[in-house]
Chain A
Amino acid sequence: MYTYEKTRHKPIKVWSEKAEGGRERYKPVLDSVPITIRSIINRLSPEVLDGIEEFRLKAGAPFIIYGAGDSAYITGDGRISKDKAKAYIVTPDDTAKALQLMCDCSIYSIEDELRNGYITIRGGHRIGVVGKVVTEGSRVKTIKDISGLNIRISRQVTGCSSSLLPSLIRGRDSVYNTLIVSPPQCGKTTLLRDIIRQISDGIPALGFNGIKVGLVDERSELAGCYKGIPQNDMGIRTDILDACPKAQGMMMLIRSMSPRVIATDELGRPEDLVSIQEAINAGVNIITTVHGWSTKDIQNKPVIGKLMQDGVFERIVVLSRRKGPGTIEEVVNVSGGKKNSEFGGTRYDC
């Protein structure tokens, strides 16, 4: 077991909130909401639009946006407000129409996705769905009478992992088994996405050759595949299994695509343990993430705790949003039961 000691430094660089794309990035989002909502979003100022992480539409409730740890109501004429009374109230018709529009008016084609409670649209944005769940036996069959939608803006921040990568790569063509620990909405997926892209493309500045990466994107969140085509740049040597259960996907990739690194998001199911061990045995490195607040916090998690005890992970990156999303609390070098902490409280940059 590790002893945990936190060191904090001043931030070196701050991740600018500006992601690529501008207003064009929102086109798929606008296409998937009804005209009423579309005209409201269109009237938002670019500064507001840039910082938005989530749009929330709930039938009969105010239209809310979330971004940078804060939330605000949106008025009918496209301004943000803290006053609930001025907010645009989303109608049941809005949510029903939005659901149809976001799947190209083909609800029948997204039954599988709906069963998981979210769908991915063009641009890699994800839309979470709640409503009345229809079950068949003990299995969720579908969701009907949709009451609420949460549109999560996918942002690819190219180069955000650059400051971190020197501590994650080993030589010219290998990486350390890395675990990214992060509370929700601290930029864990954004960071992992950029790490994958860079090690797959190669990093000339560090003399690192690109290596084959196998990505099991169970929740279609990393690559943001829309009809099998990644909407985010995942690097030229990345093979993606979209919407595939992690444990199975890892086995499939090891056998079929001979990856040097396997990347997945949010490890934690018992069956994942076997697959990770299989990958390690096959000489494949692992980069993965887990929900958690600190290294101490995750030691008690059944799967991750076991893997940490076995000394599988050589680098542990802990994120927080202490200084905004993407604050790197520490990077732990795990070697022979000892660990050195660095990077206290810096944000990954771009």
Chain B
Amino acid sequence: MIVKVFGCLVIMVCATLAGFVLANGYKKRVRELRAFQQALQMLESEILYTSTPLPQAVDRTARSLAAPVNRIFAVVGKVLDSRTGCTAGEAWCMGVDQTKDLLSLDSEDIEIIRSFGKNLGSVDKENQEKSFTLAKYQLRAQQAKAEEERSKNERLYKNLGFLLGAALVILLI
């Protein structure tokens, strides 16, 4: 009997946790999208107002951000500093590839971030500003979408986890 109760409890806890983890993904995506916008804003002011060379600018941005979003910037900084002949665009792609699995972003978000890097460091201020504006605008739109999905799904997944666990327990009993 005790084993049965214990087993039921384990199932319930696991199912509920799984629900919470899934729900948390929605929360994290919103947070990361917001962090990216903030990061781009910082990088933009480094570039447009103080003309800081890119390796320093991305390093500074990386240092003032939290993981895992800062990883892209840290990778770009490291690649550029090592002077291996990579352009900023290539370094950015590497950063995105090395970071995307740690992020809760969907493929559309990643694509926006990736295409922002194409122009990075290879155009003048005027065009650099345009690509910042575009990326920030797209990320803001994605954030609105993510928030909507979050409000729709967060509670759903939390409840669903618990209920599925309960259903499983009932079936097994």
Contact = CB atoms under 8 A, between A and B. Distances in A.
Interface of A: 31, 33-35, 38, 96-97, 100-101, 103-109, 111, 142, 144
Contacts of A142: 124
B105 interface: no
A35 B121 contact: no
16 contacts: A31-B83, A34-B85, A100-B122, A103-B53, A104-B55, A104-B80, A105-B54, A105-B87, A105-B88, A105-B91, A106-B53, A106-B121, A107-B123, A108-B125, A108-B128, A111-B124
Given A100-B121, A111-B124, A105 B80 contact: yes
Nearest to A100: B87
Interface of B: 47-48, 51-55, 57, 80, 83-85, 87-88, 91, 120-125, 128
B85 A104 contact: no
Task: Select the residue from B47, B55, B120, B121 with max chain A CB neighbours within 10 A.
Answer: B121
B85 A101 contact: yes
A243 to B, nearest CB: 14
B83 A105 contact: no
B85 A105 contact: no
A97 B83 CA distance: 13
A31 B85 CA distance: 7
A109 B52 contact: yes
A144 B124 CA distance: 9
Contacts of B54: 104-106, 109
Contact of B55 (A33, A105, A144): A105
A108 B48 CA distance: 8
B53 A109 contact: yes
A108 B80 contact: no
Task: Select the residue from A35, A38, A100 with max chain B CB neighbours within 10 A.
Answer: A100
Contacts of B128: 108
Given A109-B51, A109-B53, A38 B85 contact: yes
A249 to B, nearest CB: 22
Nearest to B58: A105
A144 B125 CA distance: 13
A100 B117 CA distance: 14
A108 B85 contact: no
A105 B122 contact: yes
Contacts of A107: 121-124
Chain A at the B interface: mostly helix, strand, loop or mixed? helix
A150 B156 CA distance: 64
Nearest to A38: B85
A79 B97 CA distance: 38
Nearest to A114: B124
A111 B125 contact: yes
B123 to A, nearest CB: 6
Contacts of A33: 85
B152 to A, nearest CB: 41
A6 B55 CA distance: 55
Nearest to B55: A104
A34 B86 CA distance: 8
A103 B57 CA distance: 14
A261 to B, nearest CB: 33
Given A35-B85, A100-B88, A105 B124 contact: no
Nearest to A28: B83
A109 to B, nearest CB: 4
A33 B86 CA distance: 10
B119 to A, nearest CB: 10
B122 to A, nearest CB: 5
A235 B31 CA distance: 55
B121 A105 contact: yes
Given A105-B80, A107-B123, A108-B125, 4 more contacts: A105-B88, A106-B53, A109-B47, A111-B125
A105 B91 CA distance: 10
A120 to B, nearest CB: 14
B87 A108 contact: no
Contacts of A34: 85
A144 B47 CA distance: 19
Task: Select the residue from A38, A96, A104, A142 with max chain B CB neighbours within 10 A.
Answer: A104
Contacts of B53: 103-104, 106, 109
B87 A97 contact: yes
Contacts of A108: 47-48, 51, 121, 123-125, 128
Nearest to A39: B85
Nearest first, the 5 A-B pairs at minimum CB distance are A105-B88, A105-B121, A35-B85, A109-B51, A106-B54
B118 to A, nearest CB: 12
A34 B89 CA distance: 14
B125 to A, nearest CB: 5
